[in-house]
Amino acid sequence: MHNSLRAMESTRIRVASFAFVIALLLSGASAGSISIYWGQNGNEATLADTCSTGNFAFVMISFLTTFGNGQTPVLNLAGHCDPSSGGCKSLSTDISSCQSSGVKVLLSLGGASGSYSIVSADDAQNVATYLWNNYLGGQSDNRPLGDAVLDGIDFDIEATTEHWDDLAKALSALSTSSKKVYLSAAPQCPYPDSHLGTALQTSLFDYVWIQFYNNGQCEYANGDASNLVNSWNQWTTSVTTVETQGFFLGLPASSAAAGSGFIPAATLISDVLPQIKTSSKYGGLMLWNKYYDEQTGYSTAIKGSV
């Protein structure tokens, strides 16, 4: 009798342990990650040091500020290096270091200032070919970031509306069975985005980091998350991404990083994340940017809850 009871108890413990392991695996499968923009402040950490923190799954090198419409492309990395003199080729080692630690590194197009536009489908193809040869898997005698092959292209488009869908299609077509070209986008939170709305309807983007800042109508304000949550729900039900968990909540990493929309880490963890994480399409958080994150330690404070 006692042996039978011990056997039953042993079985119960094994079942409970198995259930606990399964629960851990499932929670890990749905855990979010953090993406961050790097390159717009020469006083921030190096790219390699950014990746070595272990806080980030994606780093967007920002920005390619001039391209399209026959213009000579210009990479602007603030005080980090001078691409025109070949001074940014040394970043190839940093990029490879990031990738070896599992961090995806993308080149971000656009930004709030610059001169960029795509004027036709042919122009989109020309820009895609340039990006392929100079930053992705192609060949060029003058690759601005050296020989390292980036993981993809980010669209932080804040000007013009035409032919971004054509550029997305042209870049997506460059993916191969051995090397995927990841596509991400950073639309503003009012839906649909006035610049990327058509492009996002192609369903070709792997990740969408929505900017919930500098947009009063859809950001967190005065202790009220309802506008943010409503916008989040509209985005996640209206746009399809390649990745199942492809949507990221985009926030400033400090109150100085944006005009509005900053959410203190404790508030984010207690109030906002529990609401947006109910979506099966939740992928994590995007932060603007690395310099401000270093001032506040924001990513470190939230990483365990993302």
List the chain domain ranges: 1-30, 33-305
Q: CA–CA separation, 139 vs 117, rounded Å?
A: 24
> Does the structure show a pLDDT above 90 at 273?
yes
At position 122, the amino acid (one-letter code) is: D
Residue 8 confidence (pLDDT): 46
Query: Nearest-CA neighbor of 61 among 203, 184, 189, 167?
Result: 184
In this prediction, what percent of the chain has a pLDDT beyond 90?
Answer: 88
CATH class of 33-305: alpha beta
**Residue 249 contacts by C-beta under 8 Å, 6 or more apart in sequence?**
209, 210, 212, 232, 272, 276, 284, 285, 286
Residue 286 confidence (pLDDT): 99
189 close to 200: Cβ distance less than 8 angstroms: no
Q: What is the pTM of this model?
A: 0.90
Catalytic residue among 9, 44, 158, 219: 158
Q: CA–CA separation, 208 vs 35, rounded Å?
A: 11
Q: In which element (H, E) is residue 21 found?
A: helix 2-29
At position 114, the amino acid (one-letter code) is: G
User: Per residue in 7-60, pLDDT tens?
Assistant: 444 444 443 444 433 333 333 345 899 999 999 999 999 999 999 999 999 999
The β-bridge partners of 251 are 287
292 close to 254: Cβ distance less than 8 angstroms: yes
- Calculate ∠ Cα 43-211-126, nearest 5°: 80
> Does the structure show a pLDDT above 80 at 294?
yes
Residue 37 confidence (pLDDT): 98
Choice among 3-7, 102-106, 151-155 with the minimum mean pLDDT: 3-7
Residue 302 confidence (pLDDT): 98
> Can you spell out the DSSP letters for 154-215?
EEEE-S--SSHHHHHHHHHTT--SS---EEEE--BSSSSPTTTHHHHTTS--SEEEEE-SS-
The β-bridge partners of 78 are none
246 close to 205: Cβ distance less than 8 angstroms: yes
Q: CA–CA separation, 285 vs 263, rounded Å?
A: 12
For this structure, is 243 an active site residue?
no
Q: What are the φ/ψ torsions at residue 182 (nearest 5 degrees)?
A: -75, 145
> Does the structure show a pLDDT above 70 at 181?
yes
Please classify residue 242 by burial: count the beta carbons closer than 10 Å to its beta carbon, then call 0-12 exposed, 13-18 middle and 19+ buried: middle
Instruction: Look up residue 26 and give its two tokens.
Output: 């499932």
Instruction: Look up residue 262 and give its two tokens.
Output: 């900053």
Confidence band, pLDDT 50/70/90 cuts, at residue 144: very high
Q: Are strands 115-116 and 207-211 parallel, antiparallel or unpaired?
A: unpaired
Query: Nearest-CA neighbor of 204 among 157, 167, 176?
Result: 167
Q: CA–CA separation, 145 vs 77, rounded Å?
A: 11
User: Per residue in 231-245, pLDDT tens?
Assistant: 999 999 999 999 999
